[in-house]
Each structure stands twice: as C-alpha cells, then as structure tokens.
Structure 1
Amino acid sequence: MNIVSSLRDLLGDNAVLDAADLATRSAGFLRPDNLQAAALARPANTEQVAQVLRWCRNNGVGVVAQGGLTGLVHGADADPAQVILSLERMRDIESIDPRQRCATVQAGVTLQALQEAVEEHGLMFPLDLGARGTATVGGNAATNAGGNRVIRYGMMRDMVLGLEAVLADGTVISSLNQLIKNNAGYDLKQLFIGSEGTLGVITRLVLRLRECPTTRNMALVGLESFDNMTALLKHMDRELGGTLSAFEAMWNGFYRLVTTEPARGRPPISQDYPYYVLMESQGADPEGDSQRFNDALASALEAGLLADAAVSQSEGDCQRFWALRDDVEQTFLGGVPCVFDISLPMAEMETYIDELRDALPGAVGEHKLWVFGHLGDGNLHIVVQLPPERADALRPTVEQRVYAPLSAFKGSVSAEHGIGLEKKAWLHVSRSAQEIQLMRTLKAALDPTGTLNPGKMF
C-alpha cells in the first residue's frame, strides 16, 4: 500500500506531500524538529476531508489534524506511519453577517485574518492571543483556546455558534447554526470543541461576533502584595461597569525579563515591585471611558491597592504594553524551557507559587522560574528553564512539582492549551476516574477504530 500515491489519487498530486517534503517543515512554534509522517494531505473542502478520513480508516492508517502548529502540548504530533491532515488550504471566510453578527469560515482561517476581516464591518471577534497571525480558528476550537480576554468574552467555546465536523468514517456532521439560543436537543458542537481532534475534524465554523469597541484604555501597574492584586481586580471590574477586558498578572521575574536587554521592551515603571498587572478596558464613549478608567485607577491608588502606574496615552502605548506581556519568547533564551499552563483558585495562587519556588532548587538544582498569566480567569503560565544538558532528565521532576499539588484544590493541569501527549499522564489530577471513563466511551462511540489523533489525551 502506497499511502502517498493513494491520497494523490483522491486529492491531486499537489495536495499531498511525502515524507521528504515534510522533513523541510517545522514541527511548530519554537520547535527545533521537523514534521514527520507518511504523508501530509491538504484537502481544499469538507468533502475532500471526508475522503481522506474514509480512506485512512478503511486502510488502518492513523490521522492527525493540524492547524497553525502553535500548540504547546504536542497535540498535533504524528509518527512516521501516520497521515497529517492539514487545513492550510481551507482558508475561506465564506460570509460575514453584520445584522446577525456572525461569520461563517473554513477551519484553516487564521485568527488574525478573521479579526481584520470583521473589523471592516465594525465588528470584532474577541478571541485574542499572541500567536494570532499563525493560529487557526479550527485549531482554536479544537483546543478551546482562551487567550487574553476570557474575563469578558469567555473561551472559544463561548464564541462558536455552530460548526461542521467530519467523523473518522467520513460522515459529515454539519450543524452550522447561527442562533445564540437553540435548545433543540443535544448541543453536538460541544463534543468537538476542546476534543483536540480525537472525535472529529472541524472543517467549518459559525462564529459569534461583537460590536467593535471604539475606545481602549490601558495601564500597567506595580503592586506590593498578591492580596492587593486580587483586590484590584474586584475594584476595577466593579468601577468599570463591565468594560474590563483584560487583567494580566506578571510576577517580578517575568516583568524584569521582558523589560531588560536583550528583550526589546523597556520598563514603563520601576522593576522593583513584586507584582505587576496589565489592565485593559474597552468601550464606546471616548470621553467618558477615559475619565471612568482614570477615576478607577485614582481611587485604587487612594485605597493603597497599587503603588505605581503607567497609563496609556495613545494606541501606540497600548501596543507597547501588550508587547511586554506577549514577549514569552524571552523565556526560551539561554536554556530549555518547561512550559506549563495551569488554573487554580485565586486564593491558592500565592501559596502555590511560593511553595513551588521553594521546592525547585532542592529538586532540580540550577534553574530559572517565571510566572505570568490571565489572573482574571484563574490561569497561570509557569516557565521553568533548565540547563540544556539536564533538561530531559529533570523534566519529570519539574512536572511532579507543578502538577501534583493541583489535586488538593481541584486545579487544572491545562487551562487552555489542551492535553495532547505532554499532559495525558497527569489528566487524573484534574478529572475523576468516572469522567475519564466517560471520555473513553465517547471516543469509542465516535471513533471505534482509533483513527483520529491516536495516542493523544488518554
């Protein structure tokens, strides 16, 4: 059986790459390795996706769907005997409906392309993350992406009105619903959102849009204590009357990293505070919103909640503030980073990080620790950088120190990046045995031959 020639018979010669072609393609964001698989199929539409899946299932070949390859948990890795199904040719924005405030798109559309397209209609797609130029909306849905504005707009799950997916046997489930309220039976789209391509391949989506804000106010503030940070969140959310759109926390080490050479950013305020917060408010009243934002900051300062603040005076200032928070690539310089994406109750965060910081020197020796994240929705990103020559040997110890304590307060080993290969050994920390068994039951029902994304999640 020649996989490449068989798939080329289905899709055409230019739509299928062989193993030699794949050896020139990066395996993903900041990955040193290249793709590997028996073939990479590039269907142009849903029917071609169905043809590929049907052929692979009938011939016992595993299929791994890929979007923009911006994931961090090896959820889109394939092995040399499998087929990669790339959505890179399915990038049509089929329609934008300003009255219904929704867009119908193919799954390979990049997040940034969608954002820019709907902005021309005075609308916005509120999901936003640093990899917006590469990440695809299909991948965002398959991993239930979160990003920077979950505090106001929710996760990707909250932005999908309907979708179309192809099951392992080639059956097309098309539920391109445009209604916000539709309680007609099971909400089948939820089976595929966050399932990491293990239950079906998402091919098209109907996405909910919002009116585009006309104002943006931001501040980067320094705080003396973690308690002040959580109190500031409540204060700003209350005072801004629902317009708070981001509340990003940075521990001192991360702030210093992204505001010191060789990083491009420079510190808007002193580097000596233990905690920093980047706040954003979006609204539609240019004079009133700025006044409200400044008044909320002033009252927070009077209450002793913050020690210092840099307030945006222009859109350029806003972009520079966000560039600091998004400059996570600095954590990859000088060593091998172990990147973690967890969530836990805010009341536990300070103790959790303090205990992790105390435990790591004795457990792994030389290392660097950086902490930042979306405090408003309980999501922390932890990066432990290790010396290159010891990183592989020490990673299991670091994972134990990061993941095991989460069980005590029902935290999650994955806040927004998924499980993939990297976290499947730790799924039991966040899900009960009964929940995992039900997940296995769903997998067996929809993909009994294990064709889709084999070996992931469980």
Structure 2
Amino acid sequence: MMSLHAEPAGLMADLRTVLGHAAVLEGAEMPARNSLDWSNLDPVPPLAVVRPADTAGVAAVMRLCTAYGVAVVPQGGLTGLCGGARPVAGGIALSLERMSGIEEIDPASSTMTARAGTPLQTLQEAADAAGLYLALDLGARGSATIGGNLSTNAGGNRVIRYGMARDMVLGLEVVLMDGTVVTNLNKMLKNNAGYDLKQLFVGSEGTLGVITRVVLRLYPKPRCTMAAVCGLADYDSVLRLLESARRDLGPMLSAFEVMWPDYWGFISALPQVRPPIGEGHAVYVLVEAQGTDEALDQPRFQSWLENQAEAGVLADAAVAQSLADVGAFWSVRDAVTEFNRVIGPHEPFDIGLPVAAIGNYVKACRSALENALPGAVALFYGHIGDGNLHVAACLPGAEPQPKERIKEIVYGLVRQFGGTVSAEHGIGLSKKPWLPFTRSAPEIALMRRIKSALDPDGLLNPGKVV
C-alpha cells in the first residue's frame, strides 16, 4: 500500500484520468461547505473534493484510494448534526452531489428508484406528482439527500405512522471500500432470500459502504390532513391524549409533537411565528392525522378532539381549517432553525427515552442544568409519539460555552432513565464518546468486527461511530 504523504499528486492525477478534471477539486477550488456538515465542530479541509457522476465513478475512487491508502469520507447534503460527514485531514471528501435524479416511479409496486444524491424534497414532489406519497420528512428536506437520509436512518416528523427511514427502503446499491459494487435494487415487500444486506448499510453513517442508488417504498397519497395544537395541564395529560389518539384515530395518526413552555415562549417571540394558542399551559401538543375521505375523517378527528376536551384532557386547542393552517401549525414546530438567533450558541441534543419517562426526564434535566449552571437555558420539544426528545441547552453570555458539562448532565440522565443518546441523528464524531451510555461492550465490539470485515484498512469514514 502506498503512503499518502509520499505521493498525493499521483492519486490526484489518477483520479483526474478516470473522472475528468472537473470532478476533482483541490486547494482554492474546493467549496468551503465540504469542510464540515451542520455540526458545531471545527471545519477540516480535505485533501480534495471528488465528485463522481455515477456508480462506476464511485467504485473507481474507492479502488484508487484503497491502493494509495487514503481515507474517504462520503458526503451528501451535509445536513448531519453529529460530524458524520466531516472530512479527515489528508483524506478525500467524496461528494455525491452530481449523482442526483429519479430513475423510475413504479405505480404497480408503489416504489421509486433514485440516485443517492437526490434531495429529499425532490423525491417528495415527484412522488406527489405521480399521485403517491413519500412518507419520510424532516426539516432539512430541501438540502438533505436520500443517500444521507438512509446512511443515518433518518427519522423526522411521521415516524409514529410510517417508521424510520429503514422502514421505507426496499433496495440499495452500495460500493464497498475496495470498489466492489453490491447491487440489489429490490422492489418486493417480501424477499427472504438470505441476509437482508441493505439493513447493514442503513444507519451505518457511511462507515461500511457508500450508498449510490435506492429503491423507496411509496404510499397512497393522503386525501385530507387534519391538525390541532393543544394546550395541556401536565405530562400525564399528554400520555392520556397519546393513548386515545392511537386508539381512536388508529392509522390516521401521523404525528404527535410535544413542546414545553420554555420552547413555546422563545418561539412565540419570533416575529414570523403566530402561535395558534396562547401561553400559560404546562405543555403543548401538535397532533396531525392523515385520512382517505375528508367527509368521514374530518368529523372523526373533530369528534375525537371534542371528546378529549369533555374528558378534561385538553385545556385549550386550535383546529386547522385548511392546509394553510396545517402548514402554519407546523411552522411553530419547525422554527427550531431559528435557535441560533433566539438563544445564541447552544448544544443541541437528539435523545430517545421511554415515552412514559419523558415528563420526569424533562423535570430532572432542567433542574440539574439550573443547579449546575445557574442561568442556564434549556428548551425541550420533540417527536414524543415515538419517544424522541430534542433539547437545546446553553449558558447565555458564557464564552466559551460549558459544552462538556452540559453533555455530562443531559447524557448522564439519559443513561439513568434507560434511553438512547441518539434517536435519529446518528453518532458521527460528536456522540462517539457517549455511545457506551446506550450500547453494551459486546454490542460495540460486534460493530467493530463488522467494520473490520468490510473495511479492514479503516479507510472509509474513519473515526466515526465506533
């Protein structure tokens, strides 16, 4: 194996020969964006940004980098929050941005075949135009790519009904570090022929292989969408509302988002946000349901809400009267992108907990942060219907921010409450030290054995996850 430092020019020349000069960017040609994802880690300029146009190009890059002993870090839309797409010094940033496009929508099998660099929103709009529905959805839909979504097993807004990203993928094409192309663009829901290899790569954060093409499961397009924002007196009422929504709305229930008063107060102060209900409640819930017959499902949703009010579960509620209202309700929940402007530099957390324990976790976490860091701000919100809580915490005015102390408190309580340090964002670099809080030593050892089997030289996205 050649040494990177002995002959990097040789690798660059070989890459240009195979891919063309425009596909290999060095020095000042490299876009600054390829030095970091959306995490708050320091940027690392790569040796080069390489942009193949197809699977054969990816395979060629992998073979050459293996021969030269050069690390490869796959990059999609760079919207990850854990440093999983952050380059390593002296390594190649393998950008899939040119590998964009939809190859097929098959109505008979309700599937879509697409290239990994395609933005999620592009796929959503194409499915909609075909009269179908791609259920995966998240705030970064316009920038995030489907390859990155699958490599991190993205969650998003409607997991309670449709599941995580891995539940929506039927087939994959993947390139291994040695350049081997593994293609299984399966369209069948039932296919028990041996190991389900695609699931090995979904959620592996580009450490085992590079996803190049995907087959996604599509659903019938909802014919109506109902939503309400509710004010509740306590977390026990949240649990009662969730239980009744699951029972009475059944498969119509598509989202159950919860926001605590600290979050609601900060977001309500934004000039572009118009909260549907006022402040003063102990907790706020956004409930969404998707139906197939507006004449039947809208009254059913309305009746369910009225029953909850009569039972004393709801203290207040606003019901969407149009799709514009539904979008306005979601804007309150999606305003998290304004956190940097509202509270300044902060530590974002994506954790998972047993649903019944989340209320007590919020109380314990808020109290522990205030005791350890007087004046600390902590905002709590999340996809509580599927056990996913987000926390944004900081000490206003502190420079630097006490990041490690905040992490010790948040993650320490996660371990105490039997949760996970990552619900939907992955591990990457930033959560790697905390992985043992969630995974046992034998589990981590097995992950490392799998990594070693597929990437024996440790060149593919090195240092990430395990």
Match of 1:207 among 184, 205, 216: 216
Residue 103 (structure 2) pairs with residue 94 (structure 1): yes
Q: Does 1:412 align with 2:420?
A: yes
Partners of 2:310 and 2:463 in 1: how far apart? 55
Partner of 1:398: 406
1:175 Cα offset (Å): 1.1
Against the structure 1 CA distance between its residues 137 and 283, is the aligned structure 2 distance closer, same or farther, given a 3 Å change threshold?
same
Counterpart position of 1:386 = 395
Q: How far apart, CA to CA, are the structure 2 residues paired with 1:221 and 1:93?
A: 39
Q: 1:170 aligns with which of 161, 179, 192?
A: 179
Q: Quick check: 1:281 aligned with 2:293?
A: no
Name the count of aligned residue pairs: 456
Task: Choose the corresponding residue for 1:449, options 451, 457, 463.
Answer: 457
8 Å contact kept, 2:39–2:80: no
Partner of 2:319: 311
Cα distance per residue 1:365-399 (max 9 Å; x no partner): 3321100000110000000023465345x111111
- Cα distance in 2 for partners of 1:45, 1:388 equals 48
More displaced stretch, 141-150 vs 18-27: 18-27
What amino acid maps onto 1:361 in structure 2?
A: E
- Equivalent residues in 2 for 1:66-81, closer than 5 Å: 66-81=75-90
Match of 2:201 in 1: 192
Tell me if the contact between 1:223 and 1:305 (Cα under 8 Å) persists in the aligned partners.
yes
Aligned equivalents of 1:226 and 1:65: distance in 2?
A: 41
The CA RMSD measured in Å over matched residues stands at 1.5
3-state SS of 2:211 partner: strand
Q: Which residue of 1 aligns with 2:257?
A: 248
Distance in 2 between residues matched to 1:255 and 1:452, nearest whole Å: 42
Displacement of 1:437: 0.5
CA separation of 1:80/1:21 partners in 2, compared to 1, >3 Å: closer, same or farther?
A: farther
Match of 1:377 in 2: 386
Q: Which residue of 1 aligns with 2:368?
A: 359
SS in 1 for 2:251: coil
Aligned to 2:227: 218
Question: What's 1:179 paired with?
Answer: 188
How far apart are 1:33 and its partner, in Å? 6.3
- 1:42 positional shift: 0.5
Listed one character per residue, the Cα deviations across residues 155-203 of structure 1 (whole Å, up to 9, x for unaligned) are 0000000101000000011111111011111000011000000000000
- 2:346 aligned with 1:340, yes or no? no
Q: CA deviation at 1:92?
A: 1.5
1:114 aligned residue: 123
Q: Could you tell me which residue of structure 1 aligns to residue 3 of structure 2?
A: none
Taking a change above 3 Å as real, the CA distance of residues 345 and 174 of structure 1, as seen in their structure-2 partners, is same
1:155 is matched with 164
Range with greater deviation from structure 2 (359-368 or 420-429) = 359-368
Contact 2:260/2:283, CA 8 A, preserved across alignment: yes
- Give the aligned partner of residue 65 of structure 1: 74
CA distance in 1, matches of 2:173, 2:248: 41
TM superposition outliers: structure 1 runs of 4+ over 4 Å: 30-35
Q: Kindly indicate whether residue 21 of structure 2 is the aligned counterpart of residue 13 of structure 1.
A: yes
Alpha-carbon distance, 1:19 to partner: 2.8
Residue 330 of structure 1 and its aligned partner are, at CA, apart by: 2.5
SS in structure 2 at match of 1:280:
strand
Name the aligned partner's letter for residue 111 of structure 1. L
Say if 1:391 and 1:295 are closer, same or farther in 2 by CA, change over 3 A.
Answer: farther
Shift of 1:76: 0.6
Amino acid at match of 2:12: V
The alpha-carbon distance between structure 1 residues 169 and 209, as it changes in their structure 2 partners (threshold 3 A), is: same
Q: Report the alpha carbon displacement of residue 343 of structure 1 after superposing the two structures with TM.
A: 0.4
Task: Assess if the C-alpha contact under 8 Å between 1:335 and 1:386 holds in 2.
Answer: no
Question: Could you tell me which amino acid in structure 2 is paired with residue 255 of structure 1?
Answer: W
Note the C-alpha offset of 1:404: 1.4
Q: Are the aligned partners of 1:22 and 1:35 in contact in 2 as well (CA < 8 Å)?
A: no
Distance 1:176 1:217 in 2: 35
SS at match of 1:441: helix
- Structure 1: how far apart are the matches of 2:64 and 2:395? 44
Residues 82, 179 of structure 1: alpha-carbon distance in 2 compared, 3 angstrom cutoff? same
Aligned partner of 1:142 in structure 2 is: 151
Tell me the secondary structure at the aligned position of residue 256 of structure 2: strand
Partner of residue 104 from structure 1, selected from 101, 104, 113: 113
SS of 1:241 mapped into structure 2: helix
Alignment pair present for 1:22 and 2:30: yes
Aligned residue number for residue 424 of structure 1: 432
Corresponding residue SS for 1:25:
helix
Distance 1:152 1:255 in 2: 25
Q: Determine helix, strand or coil for the equivalent of 1:336.
A: coil
Instruction: Deviation per CA, 1:198-243: give whole Å up to 9, x if none.
Output: 0000000000000100100000110001000011011112111320
Over residues 393-451 of structure 1, what are the superposed CA-to-partner deviations in whole Å (9 max), with x where a residue is unaligned?
A: x1111111011122234310000000000000010111110000000000000000001
Identity %: 51
- Could you report, residue by residue, the CA deviation over 1:124-170 in whole angstroms, capped at 9, with x for unpaired residues? 11000010001111000000000000000000000000101000000
How many angstroms does 1:21 deviate by?
Answer: 2.5
Q: Give the Cα separation in 1 of the matches to 2:464 and 2:37.
A: 17
Matched AA of 2:313: L
> Quick check: 209-218 or 358-367, which moved more?
358-367
Determine the C-alpha separation between the residues in 2 that align with 1:178 and 1:50: 24
Structure 2 residue corresponding to 1:259, chosen from 233, 243, 268? 268
